[in-house]
Amino acid sequence: MADIIQLLPDHVANQIAAGEVVQRPASVVKELLENAIDADATTIKLIIKDAGKTLVQVIDDGKGMSVTDARLSFERHATSKIRSAEDLFHLHTKGFRGEALASIAAIAHVELKTKQEYDDVGSAIVIEGSTITSQEVVVTPKGTSVSVKNLFFNIPARRNFLKSNAVELRHVIDEFHRVTLSHPNINFVFYNNGSETFNLPRSNFRQRIVNIFGSKTNEKLVPVEEETEVLVISGFVGKPEFAKKTRGEQFFFVNDRYIKSPYLNHAISSAYEGLLKTGNHPSYFLKLTVDPQTIDINIHPTKTEIKFDDEHTLYALLRSAVKHSLGQFNIAPVLDFERDANLDTPYHFSKKETSTPIIEVDRSFNPFKENYSAGKQTTAFKKQTLNNWDSLYVGLESKGTQTEHNFSEVHFESEETTISAFSDENKIDQIQTTYQLHNKYIVSTIKSGMLLIDQHRAHQRILYEDFLKNMTIKEGMSQQLLFPLELHFSSQEIEIINQLKEDLEHTGFVFSKVSKECVEITGVPVAVPESEVSIILEQLISDVENEVPDSNFSATDLLAKSMAKSLAIKRGQLLQKNEQEHLVNKLFACKEPNVSPTNRATFITMSVDELDKKFI
């Protein structure tokens, strides 16, 4: 039998490795930014075109590379970070696997320009699909510039799996946020299709958060500081009243490396227990510093998941630190019924020294001196009162001799009503035809038996069809607000609102101003209360981010679903008789009353025969 096992060619092996490392343009952004940070750059520029499908370019002013290093950097498993397996547990850098550049070069057109500080000229390398097409000497500033063009040009199937530009750009911005937050000491600039999206100067951690997520974020942050032998925690958590329905503003950094950890996320959620509404998630930006020997970061190609030596201890420390910060700044309530919060020492004055109060006394004061007139006035008043005591009772005799009232002429305002256990035929219209069960379901009768309606899903279907009709015919009714409503969002959220602004206006929203951090609304749809506007927009942003729409995505449909979900009657809400009947009538006037917008049943029927079988 012939041998069937053979070694793969290098370019095929690189393409297979690229499938693990490079999933989308955001993966290229992450790898190139981390390489720039490892090169000790102080300023890093990221240039994106067509959400990274056409161009991803990273320019830094770091150490640069020699001609030999520039050539070797595109070989598989070529790295300057480790020499032996033991070095994997002493890592203080970002990249170390030596696969990123080789994988990227296998599936794109890559151009590298680099120069060291003391060299007169630099070197330029052009690679297309793992094949070096040119290597020459160029004049270039100190540092490195890497351009990645036409991603997945030689793997059309992989390119077809990419989502729309809006979705891919959102992933790129997410990666940019993760890298920039972990390194506030570096100046980052982000250009998207020729326009400057972010310009983040060197700053501290708090200022970097504010620069990314907007100036209003500053008042939402509560500092967290804890230092132990095992773990050092620093960073910020969000106040409970600013919790969102999205998980976008949740960041863990271990030794300045962004990670995902559901276990540690549960520690934060348990610290907020009792402070958040159901479905809301807290914001946090936490940096954890641990001994590199106690973690293993070499378990995932993208290095976003790591293993801890003692997760239980980290969980307990993190939960305690967050609870302590929330209590320290009077965010969490205190169960002390005899405690007066007004007597608490303010946090900023707790460590200041107290000063002895100074009391000034007028030692020359003597109330028994002859010229003291207060006593004389009091004595005179007493004498005058005693001499005229009989005048106090003048007129009381006439009040006592008044005639008695005749209570026989008193009439009652309301007449006595009698309640009958049986209704008359002429009151048949008052008989209740619908009943509410456990404030969740509406029970109604039909010819064949009984109808059980889920009030939340039914109202979703009604609102969904109303919003969809208004957006289609572009005639949504709007009610003007007495005062403009000003809402603050991050730049990424503002971008989503701009994409959906036209459809929102067709439903009845009126936008007077949309800036980089703020949205001003002067009109809302008729059915929308003013207090619900911020909740609706947050839910809409969450749905757009989590739905991950592709090219067949309908913004109108998603908008109608999201608004219907936010405004629908909730389970547990008491409905009056007329509200129940109106809901039933509106439901069966819909085009598809059987299912909710998310394709779940809105009602079930139970025939008389099925009920009879229950009693057999």
Residues in the chain: 616
Q: Let me know if residue 298 belongs to a domain.
A: yes
CA-wise closest residue to 61 among 47, 45, 46: 45
Q: What is the pLDDT of residues 458-478, one digit of tens each?
A: 999 999 988 888 777 767 678
Whether residue 165 is found in the same domain as residue 23: yes
Picking from 276, 293, 328, the residue at the C-terminal end of a domain is: 328
Query: Which residue segment(s) compose the domain that 275 sits in?
Result: 205-328
Provide the terminal-to-terminal Cα distance of the chain, rounded to the nearest Å: 72
Q: What is the pLDDT of residue 49?
A: 93
CATH of the domain at 313: 3.30.230.10
Residues 233 and 179 in one domain: no
- Shared-domain flag, residues 195 and 227: no
Contacts of 450 (CB under 8 A, 6+ apart): 443, 444, 605, 606, 611
Average pLDDT of the chain to the nearest whole number: 80
Angle between helices 555-567 and 455-473 (to 10 degrees): 140
Range from 2-11, 479-488, 493-502, 566-575 carrying the lowest mean pLDDT: 2-11
74, part of any domain? yes
Is 559 a member of any domain?
yes
CB atoms within 10 A of CB 220: 20
Count of domains for the chain: 3
My answer on whether 456 and 599 are in the same domain is yes
Query: Of 135, 131, 133, 171, nearest to 154 (Cα)?
Result: 131
Domain boundary among 328, 363, 385: 328
Residue 501: DSSP 8-state: H
Q: Tell me: do 562 and 600 sit in the same domain.
A: yes
- Contact in structure between 276 and 240 (CB atoms under 8 Å): yes
Question: Which CATH number goes with the domain that contains 453?
Answer: 3.30.1370.100
Reported as a single tens digit per residue, the pLDDT across 267-325 is 999 999 888 887 788 999 999 998 888 777 766 666 677 778 888 888 999 999 999 89
Question: Of 309, 328, 347, which closes a domain?
Answer: 328
Kindly report, residue by residue over 16-72, the tens digit of the pLDDT: 666 667 888 999 999 899 889 988 899 999 999 999 999 999 999 999 888 888 888
Domain assignment of residue 514, yes or no: yes
Please check whether residues 191 and 210 belong to one and the same domain: no
Which residues on adjacent β-strands are paired with residue 144? 60, 114
Q: Is residue 577 part of a domain?
A: yes
Whole-prediction pTM: 0.69
Question: Are 135 and 52 contained in the same domain?
Answer: yes
Q: Are residues 34 and 85 in the same domain?
A: yes
Q: Residue 551: what pLDDT?
A: 40
Whether 388 maps to a domain, the answer reads no
- DSSP string covering 493-545: HHHHHHHHHHHHHHHT-EEEEE-SSEEEEEEEETT--GGGHHHHHHHHHHHHH
In DSSP terms, 235 is beta-bridged to: 224, 286
